[in-house]
Amino acid sequence: MEMNDTARLKLLLAFMTMFIAVCYPIVKPYLETYMDNFGEDKIIKSNLSSFSIESEIIKAWNKLLKKPERKKFKIAIGMNTNVDLIISGTELFKNLKLNEPNGIKNHEIIGNLKQFKECFMHFFHKGSAAERFFTNSLDFEKVLELVKNLKQQWFIGGNAALMAQGISKRFSDAEILLIGPVGPKLKELLSQNIQVMDDTLVAKDEVHLILEYEAKETIESIQTPQANRFIVSYDIKNSRMELIDQFFNITSIQKPDITIVSGLHLLETQNSSYRSETLKKLTNLLKNRDHKMVHLELGSISEKSLMKNILESGLLSEVNSLGLNEQELLFLAYSSETAPHSNYYMEMNGSLELIKIIDILEWILTAYGSKEHSNSRFSRIHFHYLKFHIIAELDIGVWSNSISSLISGSKVAAKQACGFDFDDLSNEVALEDFVEMKIPYEYDENKNIFLRMDQEKSFKFNASEPVIKIHRGKIKFYFTPTLVCKKPLKTVGLGDAISSNGIIYSEFNSI
């Protein structure tokens, strides 16, 4: 017998009534919990979670970034050049079987394989970058022999060569002079538009071993908090700065618009008298220069006596700009013994405190800068740290386009680490998913963002205006948080890219 429409409707209503009667007592608690949570507070949190601070920073950086007015320029870069052999640090120490007990200890110079492992572990457990040197070739050759069985990659190495290569890719209008020992492998790897003079070519490459690791990798129960690298080498030509005369002969003829000097940290392997003589020679050659602008990239120094030699040599007074990272800045303050927070290098555990960093930068510019010393040319510092970057300048009318200088360094670090081209804007929507701001932050009840920069202080932050300006007396500070690549493809050379981009985007007006 067929059912009419009325009968069907009655049957459907009866079924629905029975279903509700049976199922409602079961789902009622879940419905109530859901409805209780679906209030105004939940809506605000939902809106905040859809907000991407990384996306806002990238957009703001692009709006603020302005290329320098100069159209073409000549830049000379020296003096440390080599090839980098990159391997996994964790894989190396799995294969480097040592009978000695495991230890964690810093060594300024590596005298044997036991010290090699201890020193690596010292920086690995903190996730800090460092560079050290072997005192004999035999142990270093043993390590190079061992890594032949590991996955390896060959790259351009040395601060000078890395900066030259990076500039050749990012600034097509630059005329680049690379002045340092260039062996066959390095010559093969360099871009063709980098000029290498015949009297700087050498028969054998200097090899630097780069031990990279990612965040949370583990060696013998010790886990590293963040990705970084540890560099070791046995390097003669660079450590003795043997091409210093060629460098100044070439620059005196070529007269570059910008000169970048690097490689002082390699002097650590030399005795005190050789260091002093070399620093004295470099300072005098810079004093008598007619270069328009000189930037010094400091490099990782671990020996207090060398850093004191640099500070006492008068070298800083002969350069216009200085680039350095957190380890180098804190060690400089520690070595000086008169800087504020001079023991911070020994005491620092965890994230840097912004105010202490600004105090130290202010002290360096005040102690060595051109405002206080009539014969000094020094007036700018570019500081780069994993979580933020700062440019500090004496307010004497020498530097301009400083915001773009700061942003260009921060942006190139994020993009290069993730494998993105600096000038390709088409990849920046994708970039925000690959990077993160590492400075802890929180929202107040008005949805304002506060960065937790110091132990007891937070700073209000607008992601749409990510460059914060601070004025202290005659010194201007420009601060921006960085965007850190979550899974970096390559960490070597980021500091060089940051500083070289920053100095090229700066406008320098000699007075």
> CB under 8 Å, gap of 24 or more: what pairs does 304-312 form?
304/331, 304/334, 304/335, 305/272, 306/264, 306/265, 306/267, 306/268, 306/275, 307/331, 307/332, 307/335, 307/336, 308/335, 308/336, 309/272, 309/275, 309/276, 309/279, 310/264, 310/279, 311/335, 311/336, 311/368
What's the rounded Cα separation, in Å, for the pair 267 and 363?
25
At 257 the three-state DSSP class reads coil
Burial 161-179 (b: 16+ CB within 10 A, else e): bbbbbbbbebbeebbbbbb
Q: Which two tokens stand for residue 456?
A: 């007891």
How many Å separate Cα 214 from the centre of its chain?
15
The answer to whether 424 is a known catalytic residue is: no
The answer to whether the beta carbons of residues 380 and 453 sit under 8 Å apart is no
Which conformational region is residue 337 in: left (phi greater than 0), alpha (psi within -120 to 50 degrees), or beta?
left
The answer to whether the beta carbons of residues 54 and 432 sit under 8 Å apart is yes
Phi and psi at 173, nearest 5°, equal -90, 5
Question: What letter does residue 110 receive in the DSSP assignment?
Answer: B
SS3 string of 18-60?
HHHHHHHHHHHHHHHHHHHHCCHHHHHHHHHHHCCHHHHHHHH
What's the rounded Cα separation, in Å, for the pair 259 and 48?
46
What's the rounded Cα separation, in Å, for the pair 361 and 392?
7
With CA atoms as reference, report the closest residue to 98 among 81, 120, 80, 130.
120
Phi and psi at 32, nearest 5°, equal -65, -40
At 471 the three-state DSSP class reads strand
Secondary structure (DSSP) of 288-330: T---S-EEEE------HHHHHHHHHTTGGGG-SEEEEEHHHHH
**Catalytic hit among 84, 205, 235, 496:** 496
Q: Would you tell me how many other CB atoms lie within 10 Å of the CB of residue 337?
A: 11
At 9 the three-state DSSP class reads helix
Question: What letter does residue 165 receive in the DSSP assignment?
Answer: H
List 404's β-bridge partners, or say none.
Answer: none
Catalytic sites, residue numbers: 496
